[in-house]
Amino acid sequence: MTDLFSVSGKTVFISGGSRGIGAMLAEGFVNAGAKVIISARKAAELHARCAHLQTLGDCTAIEADLSSQQGVEALAAAIKSLTTRLDVLINNAGASWGADIDSFPESGWDKVMNLNVKSAFFLSQQLLPLLRNAAAEDNPARIINIASVLAIMAQSGQTTYCASKAAVAHLTQAMSLDLMRHGIRVNAIAPGWFLTEMNQDFFATDAGKAYIQRMPAKRLGNIDELVGPVILLASDAGSFINGTVLPVDGSIRHSG
């Protein structure tokens, strides 16, 4: 059973790995014995996170801005300079944009769609040679896209973000059909609320605490509850799972 869920020795790349969900996943994979590569745009934050992860295991950092095609291609080239194979690609980098629908700018739409959807597709495309090198009939390579529970349910004030994550979910399903014959499985998780740097201030307020009490679980998710499902998808235990968008949300999608 331990071997079934093992990711030890696998080479794993995580975009947006310096904070939030990406940092949680990076720590989980490092602790599980994987060789982890992380990228992020903010150099100081990225290298601080990598230094912490290096105290736990094997981690390498690459500075990258995935908001443009040039940035995607530069990151792919940097990864190819480090390794000839990639067992697991986790497309996690993402953005949101807060603005009223009446005044939402085109620049905000482009930023959210480019980073959340376009970069996930083209980074996967650029890294297909490394994924194919790692793929074996009995041990497929994996692409795991980080969608959101807002790909499944809508939330006021998050129109563009909801649309982008729904696109990630459908992109996952379509890519899974194209890549299965190449020995690559493509799945996604749809996380609900986990405590991260981006939301910790809100959940410390009275409004945030009240929001938590309206959740079915009455609490936020913890790191193990996030890492576990992704380890499943990355390990031999998940080798026959393909084209799935797995909610990891404590049933918040059913709460209305």
Q: Cα 16 from chain centroid?
A: 8
The DSSP string of 14-28 is: EETTTSHHHHHHHHH
Range of the domain at 203: 11-248
Is the residue at 2 inside a domain?
no
Coil, helix or strand at residue 10:
coil
Is the residue at 1 inside a domain?
no
What is the rounded average pLDDT of the residues 19-43?
97
Is the residue at 256 inside a domain?
no
Return the pLDDT at 1.
Answer: 83
Is the residue at 254 inside a domain?
no
Return the pLDDT at 196.
Answer: 86
Catalytic residue among 13, 161, 193, 194: 161
What percentage of the chain exceeds 90 in pLDDT? 90
Is the residue at 3 inside a domain?
no
Could you tell me if 53 and 59 are in contact, meaning their C-beta atoms sit under 8 angstroms apart?
yes
What percentage of the chain exceeds 70 in pLDDT? 100
Q: Residue 147: pLDDT above 80?
A: yes
Q: Is residue 211 annotated as a catalytic residue, yes or no? A: no
Q: Given the structure tokens 């390990």, which residue do they identify?
A: 235
Is the residue at 147 inside a domain?
yes
Return the pLDDT at 32.
Answer: 98
The DSSP string of the chain is: -TTTT--TT-EEEEETTTSHHHHHHHHHHHHTT-EEEEEES-HHHHHHHHHHHHTTSEEEEEE--TTSHHHHHHHHHHHHHH-S--SEEEE---------TTT--HHHHHHHHIIIIIHHHHHHHHTHHHHHHH-BTTB-EEEEEE--GGGTS--TT-HHHHHHHHHHHHHHHHHHHHHGGGTEEEEEEEE--B--TTTHHHHTSHHHHHHHHHSTTSS-B-HHHHHHHHHHHHSGGGTT--S-EEEESTTGGG--
Q: What is the mean pLDDT of the chain?
A: 95
Return the pLDDT at 229.
Answer: 98
Domain count, the chain: 1
Is the residue at 171 inside a domain?
yes
> Pick the residue with more confidence: 170 or 2?
170
Most confident stretch, 58-62, 93-97, 134-138, 191-195 = 58-62
Is the residue at 236 inside a domain?
yes
Could you tell me if 69 and 45 are in contact, meaning their C-beta atoms sit under 8 angstroms apart?
no
Q: Given the structure tokens 């720590």, which residue do they identify?
A: 27
Say how far apart CA 122 and CA 118 lie, in whole Å. Answer: 6
What is the rounded average pLDDT of the residues 240-252?
96
Return the pLDDT at 256.
Answer: 63
| Residue 199 pLDDT class (50, 70, 90 cuts) | confident
Q: What is the CATH number of the domain that holds 191?
A: 3.40.50.720
Return the pLDDT at 33.
Answer: 98
Q: Residue 198: pLDDT above 80?
A: no
What is the rounded average pLDDT of the residues 158-163?
94
